[in-house]
């Protein structure tokens, strides 16, 4: 039998999101709890984390994907990519 140790590095932000995602409702998990979960459970929780919410306070954030719109390609609050997709769908539906 082989024993393999894998180190998972978590940012404080990830730890907070894991806590919120698990419905613990306190925004933080102790190191002792993280260790008790073990790496398999911990990795599963990381894999199940939702995508971060777009920052709605950022006026430069794309309204579709939350990405930057300051590359000069954007249009109507969308980044270049989303503006192109929007234009394509606009043309396709004729609306
Ligand atoms: Zn976008």
DSSP track, 45-78: HHHTPPPPPP-TT-TTB-TTT--B-TTS--BTTB
| CA of 95 relative to ligand 1 center, distance in Å | 20
- Residue 9 three-state SS: coil
Q: How far does the centroid of ligand 1 lie from the alpha carbon of residue 67, in Å?
A: 5
Summarised one tens digit per residue, pLDDT across range 61-95 is 888 888 888 767 788 888 888 888 888 887 766 55
The pTM of the full predicted model, rounded to 2 decimals, is 0.37
C-alpha 9 to ligand 1 mean position (Å): 29
């Amino acid at each position: 039998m082989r024993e393999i140790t894998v180190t998972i590095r978590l940012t404080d932000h990830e730890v907070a999101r894991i806590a919120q995602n698990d419905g613990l409702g306190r925004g933080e998990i102790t190191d002792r709890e993280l260790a008790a979960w073990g790496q398999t459970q911990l990795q599963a929780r990381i894999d199940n984390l939702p995508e971060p919410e777009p920052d709605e306070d950022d006026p430069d954030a794309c309204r579709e994907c939350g990405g930057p719109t300051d590359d000069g390609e954007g249009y109507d609050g969308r980044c270049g990519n989303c503006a192109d997709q929007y234009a394509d769908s606009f043309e396709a539906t004729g609306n």
